[in-house]
A = this chain, B = another copy of it.
Amino acid sequence: MSAPLRLGIAGLGTVGIGVVKIIQNHAELLSARSGRPVQITAICARDRQKNRDADLSDYAWEDCARDLARRDDVDVFVELIGGDEGIAREAIEIALDSGKDVVTANKALLAIHGQALAERAERQGRSLRFEAAVAGGIPVIKTLTESLAGNRISRVMGVMNGTCNYILTRMQSAGLPYEAVFEEARQLGYLEADPTLDVGGIDASHKLAILSAIAFGTQPAFDAVEIEGIERVSIDDINRAADMGYRIKLLGVAQMTARGLEQRMSPCLVPADSPLGQLEGGTNMVVIEGDSVGQIVLRGAGAGEGPTASAVMSDVIEIARGVRLPVFGQPAETLSKAHPARTAVPAAYYMRLTLADKPGALAKIASVLGDAGISIDRMRQYGHAEDTAPVLIVTHKTTPDAIDHAIEALPRTGVITGEPVELRIEEV
């Protein structure tokens, strides 16, 4: 049996304490599977006095993560602080420069500074691992980097923010408007301190940018993700979509096309009976499509103490076993600069318009869509008490550009009131 692997854990929130518990409770199992004992030597967090649900008395305490990253008795620096700048980034750089391997759950940092950090780690010959950064306990990083390494990946997509999926499914099941469920989620502690990270789609887009890099051999390019959050999703649209056999999900999709790398995070319709459509509550799902493997679907808890700590431990055990891989699956210097492309892959679209009750109104709408080259698959006009009528349209496959043209032209017909709503129907 080799020498113990010594961890320094920076950040003792939910995930950090989850990691401590696994190491304390499963010493024998970890040692059998890793080929060597896994130990914690030092820890740090902002507040030493805070009451935490674990006995930390055996570990050296550091007040500053930078100092933890410098310690000689630490082999692996486990960064669970978060944030794409400041202390987390600095401490990781110090750890790599002082010859330590790094395990992190920090999606923002990797999505934004992943390239620089990967180059730094590989220059130093160290590991930088981040299974916990994407979709919690779901082993999506390993699946993409290792299991599907023999495939040319055509598309990666997923529901990767449990809070958004909770809000959307709860709106549907309780029949409540967005604002009410958002407030519920806030009170349940499901939202980040800055809720825009969740409902604005930022957090999920960080994850998508990381997956894209591995899938397509490109440098992580978070700023190239087209992002739309769930704030505009109305209970009306959720109900109308359900009537037609769809669910609305905050769906991330990355695909490489002849025009470049499309990365988008947006509320989409998916068939209610598809695995993505059936995903309820805070659960996450990632779908990967490769030329040999076909479609692989991975589902599990995307957050929480246990699942995220499980992912951190997966990385720790790989390091204990002596496994070394390039950060994004191939040497960072060989990752190409992604040529970002605005979404152009055709899809069917869902549109909801509020029609003024005037003669010939529907004909005018149909004519605008026809002029934009959009053909209609299904249309439903709902009964109406007032002098406006909701109209739902599902188009045949068309381009996002055509939809944009139509959305721009529709108000000029003078027969619709309010903003037209348009949502992509993703083929899953």
Complex CA–CA separation, A80 to B226 (angstroms): 44
A318-B146 in contact given A294-B306, A295-B300, A301-B294 (Cβ < 8 Å): yes
Residues of B within 8 A of A137 (CB): 292-294, 296
A389 within 8 A of B: no
- Closest chain B residue to A316 by CB distance? B150
* Cβ A321 vs Cβ B317 within 8 A: no
Residues 1 to 42 of chain A near chain B (Cβ within 8 Å): 18, 22, 26, 29-30, 32-35
Is B150 a contact partner of A139 (Cβ separation < 8 A)? no
* 8 Å CB contact of A33 from B295, B298, B329: B329
A35 to B122, CA, bound (A): 13
Q: B152, A147: Cβ atoms under 8 Å?
A: no
Q: How far is the CA of A20 from the CA of B310 in the complex (A)?
A: 36
Question: By DSSP majority rule, is chain A's interface helix, strand, loop, or mixed?
Answer: mixed
Number of copies: 2
Q: A22-B150, A329-B33 are in contact. Are A292 and B317 (CB under 8 A)?
A: no
In the assembled complex, the Cα of A246 lies from the Cα of B331 at a distance in Å of 49
Contacts of A325 in B (CB 8 A): 321, 323
Q: Is the CB of B314 within 8 A of A146?
A: yes
C-alpha spacing A143/B18, complex, angstroms: 20
Q: Contact string, A283-318, partner B, CB cutoff 8 A, digits 1/0?
A: 000000011111111111100101101111110111
Given contacts A146-B317, A146-B318, A18 and B292 within 8 Å (CB-CB) = yes
User: Which residues of A319-376 have CB atoms within 8 Å of chain B's CB atoms?
Assistant: 321-326, 329-331, 334
A131 interface residue per 8 A CB criterion: yes
Q: Which of A127-178 contact B (CB under 8 A)?
A: 131, 137-139, 142-143, 146-152
**Does B301 lie within 8 Å of A293, measured CB to CB?**
yes
Selected from B291, B299, B313, the residue in CB contact (under 8 A) with A149 is B313
Name the contact of A306 in the complex, choosing from B29, B32, B292, B324 (C-beta under 8 A).
Answer: B292
A275 lies within 8 A of chain B by Cβ: yes
Q: How far is the CA of A34 from the CA of B148 in the complex (A)?
A: 12
Q: Which residues of B contact A306 (CB under 8 A)?
A: 291-294
A307 to B, closest residue via Cβ = B293
Partner of A314, one of B149, B299, B322: B149
Chain B residues, CB < 8 A from A124? none
Cross-chain pairs A/B with CB under 8 angstroms, 15 sampled: A18-B292, A34-B149, A131-B147, A139-B296, A146-B318, A147-B310, A150-B313, A150-B317, A290-B310, A291-B306, A292-B310, A294-B306, A296-B300, A299-B299, A322-B324
